[in-house]
Amino acid sequence: MNTKFQNDINEGLSKALKSLPSKYFYDKTGDDLFVKIMNLPEYYLTKAEFDIFKNQTKNIIAALDINPNVYFELIELGAGDGTKTKELLKVLISENFNFDYIPIDISNNALKQLETNLNTEIPNLNVTKKQGDYFNVLDGLKTSNHPKVVLFLGSNIGNMEDEKAKRFISKLSSSLNPNDKVVLGVDLIKSKDIVLPAYNDKAGITKAFNFNLLNRINKELDANFNIDQFSHQPEYTETEGIARSYIVSNTDQEVHIGALNKTFQFKKGEKIHTEISRKYNDEILNSILENSSLRIVTKLLDTKSYFADYILIKT
C-alpha cells in the first residue's frame, strides 16, 4: 500500500476546504487521458507551444546564445513524449551543435519510449536519460560544470501555487552556473472564453482526468465514491489569471475509505479543489523570479499570443 498517497488523501479530505493533490492525476490512465487532452480542439496550450518550437526554432537558438564549439547539456524537466523538443533537437543536430540531451522524467516507461523514438528519428543525438522527480533531480545537476540549458515546458510551472513556483525557481537557479539558460513555457493570461473550455472540453476528457483521482482512491484505497454523485467544475477569472479545477458533491453524502478506516461527509455543493493552472504575464513571472538569480532575456510568442516561452539567464 502506498502510504504517502494514503496520507495525502486523508490530509486533503480532512481539511475544512477539501483538496486533493493534482500530482495523483498521473497514473497510467491519467497519462493516457492527458495525451488525449493535448489533442483536444479546446486545449490550445500544447499546439501554441508547438507552434513556437516549430516556427521559431532559430529564434530560440539565437536567444540561448550557445557557442557551437563548446559542449553543453540540454536538460529537459518532465520530458514526456518530447514532441516539441524534437523540433529544437533536429535543428541543433543539423547545425552541428555539441551537446547531450538529458531528459528527466518521473516515468521510466516514458523515458524508455522517448529514447527509442529519438534513436530512430535523430540517430546522431546523444541521449542520457535520468529517472526521478525533477524537484529532487535538480541537486544532481550541480555535479557537472558544463554550460547548461534547462527546458521546463508545457506550462508545468502553472500547476504550482506561486509560493511553490518560487521555491522551485530558486532551487533551479541555485543548481545552475552564471550564463546557463532556462526555457520556461507558460500559458498567458487571457479571456475566460478561451481558457475555460480548455479545462471543460465538450468530449468530457478533462472531466474523466479530474475524476481519475476518485477512481484511483476507489481502487487503491478501497473507497466507495459514487462518481455519478459528483460534478467536474473548472473556474477561472482573468483578473486573477488562475484556472482552478474542482470536484463538486451533487448531494449530501458519505464516502468510506477502507484503507483509512474512515468516513468523510460531503455537503451538497461542497467542493474538492484538485488543480491549479496558473496563467502568466511578465509581471507575475518577474515576481516569481525575484528572489532567484534568473532573469528574463527574451519572450517568444506563438502566432495567437496565447503562450510564451521565456528564455531566462542565470546571472
CB atoms within 10 A of CB 291: 12
- Could you say whether residue 165 binds ligand AVI (CB under 6 A)? no
Helix (H, G, I), strand (E, B) or coil at 178: coil
Which of the ranges 3-11, 80-88, 155-163, 251-259 carries the binding residues for ligand AVI, by CB under 6 A? 155-163
- Could you say whether residue 275 binds ligand AVI (CB under 6 A)? yes
Nearest CB to ligand AVI, comparing residues 160 and 260:
160
Nearest CB to ligand AVI, comparing residues 206 and 292:
206
Backbone φ/ψ region at 255: left (φ over 0), alpha (ψ -120 to 50), beta: beta
DSSP 223: B
- Could you say whether residue 199 binds ligand AVI (CB under 6 A)? yes
Q: Rounded to the nearest whole angstrom, what is the least distance from the CB of residue 295 to ligand AVI in the complex? A: 24
- Could you say whether residue 233 binds ligand AVI (CB under 6 A)? no
Phi (first) and psi of residue 188, to 5 degrees: -95, 150
- Could you say whether residue 159 binds ligand AVI (CB under 6 A)? yes
- Could you say whether residue 154 binds ligand AVI (CB under 6 A)? yes
Which of the ranges 51-59, 99-107, 111-119, 152-160 carries the binding residues for ligand AVI, by CB under 6 A? 152-160
Measured CA angle at 297 (ends 293, 298), to 5 deg: 145
* Residue 173 near residue 139 (C-beta atoms within 8 A): no
- Could you say whether residue 249 binds ligand AVI (CB under 6 A)? no
The number of residues that bind ligand AVI (CB under 6 A) is 12
> Binding string to ligand AVI for residues 91 to 110, with x set by CB under 6 A, is what?
--------------------
DSSP 23: G
Long-range contacts formed by 109-114: CB under 8 A, 24+ apart: 110/31, 110/79, 110/80, 110/81, 111/79, 113/81, 114/79, 114/80, 114/81, 114/82
Indicate the helix (H) or strand (E) that contains 40. none
Position of minimal CB gap to ligand AVI: 277
Residues near ligand AVI (CB under 6 A): 37, 45, 154-156, 158-159, 199, 206, 209, 275, 277
